[in-house]
Structure 1
């Protein structure tokens, strides 16, 4: 029995990207649920490194940012127990199990009974269990997802987040928002405390390539006060383009069935991002102006990201950031103004010691 369903909002790049030959390659998937009633967020990060095998960093991993930005990590070194669907969103990795089958998507009941440690995730299901024997921490989870927004206007063909050139192997890494907004129903057991939820905000994205960018920031939120139909994703990075590097940034705001998109490659973005604590971004085109400010007094936590030396702690996150957002018509008429205290804020890459300003100071 398959738990994969048809999805009208499926995005490009949903399938697995490895070419079956490259010795240096990673692909990573990120799923998140936010529980507004208790002010907590859970982020699940799945990755595979060098799936050709017999490489120094070959293997898979699961990382979870849990309640109050707590962190849990588990490696799955056997690449033969990893699977991913090349045609649609589907990924999994088994640890200990009681099956004679090759790794594949299972119905949730079979997975729960037969796979003692591991995960499986599609466009509509996220399920798994991991434990850290050294710290006695564990997490068990199962929830279904009702996708609402992929990346694009609702009820229209969804778009590649990185644009048409993302289909060519010239950018490293690739990046795709798989689901800008959806609703999740299920449960998460975090160290023995069970969180049950129904129709809470959910999100997913992915990356692939040789390594994460030299430097980046990220803002994400789909749990705003009094605005259930609103999802924000912002990213800026210094990425590799063939034999040179470039700074790029993008804002995607899904609201009332429409995607408002601003891109640095079209001269529509500027930002000032501190090494930690404050993110200021402004997008402007011929029709709209969008101002975003993210702040936090939380220390956050560090998570591992793919590098040329394997997974390394080069990313700092909090899921309890404050985000204010204001969208206006170019003539000044206010369209939307809202706030969240459950925003995802992130910086990463090489150590920062100065604000990142692009291309000039944000006014």
Structure 2
């Protein structure tokens, strides 16, 4: 599913699960929805072209599986589908009932993972998250990156160089019972800044807990506010306003996200399958202030604003504001 320009929405499912592929040890996955064995345009000559063509023809052979393709081969042979790695995102999906479509291809240069630059990637949910004790699991793979390429949205082509990019993964049986999320790495006057914040009511073994975190990458340094090192509080309206505060022994942060837009319903995994259960906008307003505690005083490290913040609420119930206790 894609949340497009002006919070427009596009979704496509591929029932042939056997045409999905993924690497077990690195970020690489894809799905061949529809294949065109003839290829787009004129067929090139050569051994490589011929071998790949025969590989597609032999899909009935058990040991021949969908896999990563060079971008040119994907563009030529895949009529519906996608493939993604840590440095490439490419695909084409369309809605047969409306004829709306999206095609895209861009390369990504990662800038920040999750943690200080040039250091080992940290676990977003803590070191115990490698065990299957949390439901769901959550890992921010790339807090900030630079994407260059193009996106064709229903005939309008967007070309871009070094556009902000972000990547995370979720796994488990379902999303949290209730959650909120804010993300932004596009600030008007502060280019080297990336924020991800969120909270939810998640399962831990046989009980439920409500937790939240704020993570900031700024000028090569990682500022982490998580339940095991900070006090994190929040006040999230059913829609329209996200307020969070956090502090530890060295730093404190405040952020406020707002929107007057209605948002767009999105699907998310639940125990009953993929259903509409969250609401998003990628055009939220965000104000953030980070301060350092020094000699019983506070020194402002950064104060920034953005009009391109991703804001989300999900699950429920959302009859009233959700405040931390």
Secondary structure, in 3 states, of the residue corresponding to 2:72? helix
| Offset, 1:125 | 0.2
Is the Cα–Cα contact under 8 Å of residues 215 and 222 in structure 2 kept in the other structure? yes
Moved more, 120-129 or 90-99: 90-99
Q: Distance in 2 between matches of 1:153 and 1:135?
A: 45
Q: Does 1:291 align with 2:254?
A: yes
Aligned counterparts, 1:323-334, within 5 A? 323-330=286-293, 331-334=297-300
CA-to-partner distance for each residue in 1:28-63, whole Å, 9 max, x for gaps? xxxxxxxxxxxxxxxxxxxxxxxxxxxxxxxxxxx0
Paired residue secondary structure (1:86): coil
Match of 2:170 among 181, 191, 207: 207
Mapped pair 1:354 → 2:320: yes
Give runs of aligned pairs for residues 210-359 of structure 1, distance below 5 A.
Answer: 210-330=173-293, 331-359=297-325
Query: What is the CA distance between 1:193 and its match in structure 2?
Result: 0.3
Counting matched residue pairs gives: 297
Tell me if the contact between 1:248 and 1:265 (Cα under 8 Å) persists in the aligned partners: no
**Which structure 1 residue ranges, 5 or more long, are not aligned?**
1-62
Distance in 1 of aligned mates of 2:31 and 2:262? 31
CA distance in 2, matches of 1:109, 1:217: 39
Could you tell me how far 1:102 is from its partner in structure 2?
A: 1.4
Aligned to 1:112: 75
Report whether the alignment pairs 1:74 with 2:12: yes
Residue 264 of structure 1 deviates from its aligned partner by 2.6
Q: Aligned partners of 1:147 and 1:276: how far apart in 2? A: 32
The equivalences for 1:116-265 within 5 A come to 116-265=79-228
Q: TM-score, normalised by structure 1?
A: 0.81
Larger RCO, structure (CA 8 Å, separation 6 or more):
1
d(CA) in 2 for partners of 1:357 and 1:221?
Answer: 22
Asked which structure has the greater CA Rg, the reply is 2
Q: Distance in 2 between matches of 1:346 and 1:214?
A: 14
Distance 2:25 2:246 in 1: 34
Task: Determine the structure 1 residue equivalent to 2:27.
Answer: 89
Does structure 2 retain, via aligned residues, the 8 Å contact 1:264–1:270? Answer: no
Q: Deviations over 1:74-94 (max 9, x none)?
A: 001111000111100011011
Aligned mates of 1:124, 1:334 — CA distance in 2: 35
- The TM-score normalised by the length of structure 2 is 0.90
Alpha-carbon distance between aligned partners in 1 of 2:244 and 2:318, rounded to the nearest angstrom: 18
